[in-house]
Structure 1
Amino acid sequence: MTDYKKEYESIFSGLSDDDQLAFNSLNQEFDKHFVIKDAKYEKLYIMAVSMVDSGKNYVEYYNAKTKDVARVASKDLPKHRNKYWSDAAILGVYFAVLFSVTIFILGEIVISFVLPLVIILILLMVPFMNTGIKHQTSRRGNNQMLSGLIFIILFVSANLLILFMNSEFLSALKITALDASFAESLLYVLFIIVTAASVYFIFSSESWASKLIFIVLLIYSAGRLLYPFDILNGLSEFIVQYFMFIGLILIIIGQYIRSKQANKES
């Protein structure tokens, strides 16, 4: 089996500086279209060979912006799923753990407008994580320093917001707070982690039946997080008291339909 990555890197090393910049850009554009690695390098190799054999440079041969060339070239290539939301959920799990640590340190459960701000920062930092930090080990790493720097700034900012959420400086953003015993804090932290993990598994699971299970867990855990506070009292009370029973019924029905479909396919 041909190692197209190795073959591509071999021909890439012989290109001019301008052509290398163009093919680096193509490489990035293929990543933006979520082309799988093997197919990407095979296509890049074919494109580079075609250009070299023609005796022309990139501008003369392709005569188009790299994003346009990549968009057309990637249409028929196999792609992996968009990992934006699963990457965001992974970061969400990290910040959920950090938030949980602050609860144990402070001995107080704080609900603040800082939390949605952190969620916004997470959504903003994911693209910079994907184009910056993840590519630092590649040949394109030097071209991603700015993205990596922006990611670090956003990441550190989110950490500081969580750590100093209960400070006087951010007190204006506080919604409510609750003094909690160690046992109450532990239970609350458990549901924080379950909520964050459920979001991750919703976006990373392939099966809709699995997604359904984690959607039920997410809704129930979110209800348990709101229940101790005077926030959406009626809704949170309904979720805590009744939703898990409804959710279990939905899960059982979903699993039954899934097993029935599997039996038909077999």
Structure 2
Amino acid sequence: MTPRHLAVWGDPIAHSKSPRLHAAAYGVLGLDWEYTRRQVDEDGFGDALASLDGSWLGLSLTMPLKEQAHRAAAVRDRHAELTGAVNTLLLADVLQGFNTDVGGIVDALGQHGLVDVDRVRVLGAGATAASAVVACVELGARSIEVRARRPERAATLIALGERLGVDMTADAFDADADQVDLTVATLPSGSALDHVTAARLGERGGVLFDVAYSPWPSALATAWTGGQAISGEGMLLWQAVRQIRIFVHGDPTAAVPGEDAVVAAMRAVL
């Protein structure tokens, strides 16, 4: 039988918990698949992808490769098309791209009872922020305010939200803050807002969902006063569950056999 290989690529990558999560899942599923990590930067992505042989089943992609993976995919799911970002490649006859971050955010918030939101604030303007906008629309958001160091960078997010029928605005981090139900922080791990700005956002920020999870609590979560602060570890878990579904049978929405036991094993290694 041909061995099956999978990996997570990104730069940096040494911190990734994905190999532990996937190994735990495949152990429960009885699949002798190898899932590793590899440091790949933007310049090296094309050559690295071209070097893979037929034993490779798929890839997980993290920063800064999600846009490049989107361009490489011949077929993309709806979430990938909307966001312009692919975090999962299925190496079939036709290269298939998926964005499981959107579903990961929806599932993670649902685990905390957040299944319906109205007013949302998104911190950051990168690829993960696009996933956050789509996820919040799927949770019922009617208005989304994007905050970024350079608000002009949010133009693509504004257009995305408006295309999905949501009232969108963009402003700087330190602008006056109105009350929202949910704040989704998509800033890279280790990023910190100054204390005054973080406190102002926290006072009227509702529940904080911070995609950062290591270290936890994040600097922003420590300063948060407006409501509960939720770690991005849940997003990491649930986007990986959707990736495993793709690698097993090509569908991010269809559960794998014995999925409750699979998820329990994955939680145990987080």
TM-score, normalised relative to structure 1 = 0.23
Which structure has greater helix proportion? 1
State the structure with more CA Rg: 1
Which structure has greater strand proportion? 2
